Structure 1
Amino acid sequence: MLEINGVTAAYGLVRALSEVTLTVEEGSITAILGANGAGKTTLLRTISGLVRASAGTITAFGEDITALPTDRIARLGVAHVPEGGGVIPELTVEENLRLGALWRTDRADRAAAMGEVLELFPPLAPRRTKAAGTLSGGERQMLAIGRGLMGRPRLLLLDEPSLGLAPMVSAKIMGVLRSLRADTGLTVLLVEQNARSALSISDRGFVLALGRVVAADSADALLADDQLRHAYLGF
Structure 2
Amino acid sequence: MSDTPILQIENLSTYYGAVQALRSVSLTVQPGEICAVLGANGAGKTTLLRTISGLQPAAPGSRILVNGEDITGAPAESMVRRGLAHVPEGGGVIVDLTVEENLRLGGLWRADRRDRAQALDEVYELFPPLVERRNQPAASLSGGERQMVAIGRALMARPAVLLLDEPSLGLAPLITQQIMRLLHDLRDRTGLTVVLVEQNAASALSITDHGFVLSQGAVVARGSSAELLADDRMRHAYLGF
- Correspondence 1:153 to 2:165: no
189, 192, 203: which is aligned to 2:198? 192
32, 37, 58: which is aligned to 2:64? 58
Distance 1:178 1:169 in 2: 14
Partner of 1:5: 10
Distance 2:168 2:25 in 1: 25
Q: Which amino acid aligns with 1:103?
A: W
Distance 1:113 1:212 in 2: 37
Q: Secondary structure at the match of 1:127?
A: coil
Q: CA deviation at 1:70?
A: 1.1
Gaps of 5+ in 1: none
Q: Secondary structure at the match of 1:21?
A: strand
Distance 1:8 1:204 in 2: 22
- Correspondence 1:76 to 2:82: yes
Partner of 2:21: 16
Deviations 1:128-175 (A, max 9, x none): 001001100010001000000000101000000011101111111111
26, 32, 41: which is aligned to 1:36? 41
Deviations 1:77-133 (A, max 9, x none): 100000000000000000000110110011011111111111111111100001001
- In the TM superposition, structure 1's runs of 4+ consecutive aligned residues that sit over 4 Å from their partners are none
104, 114, 122: which is aligned to 1:116? 122
Q: CA deviation at 1:214?
A: 0.2
Partner of 1:223: 229
Distance 1:128 1:10 in 2: 41
How many equivalent pairs are there?
A: 235
Q: Secondary structure at the match of 1:50?
A: coil
Q: CA deviation at 1:15?
A: 1.0
Q: Secondary structure at the match of 1:38?
A: coil
| C-alpha RMSD of matched pairs (Å) | 0.6
- What fraction of aligned residue pairs are identical, expressed as a percent? 65
Q: CA deviation at 1:37?
A: 0.2
Gaps of 5+ in 2: 1-5
Output the TM-score relative to the length of structure 2. Answer: 0.97
Partner of 2:3: none
- Correspondence 1:162 to 2:186: no
Output the TM-score relative to the length of structure 1. Answer: 0.99
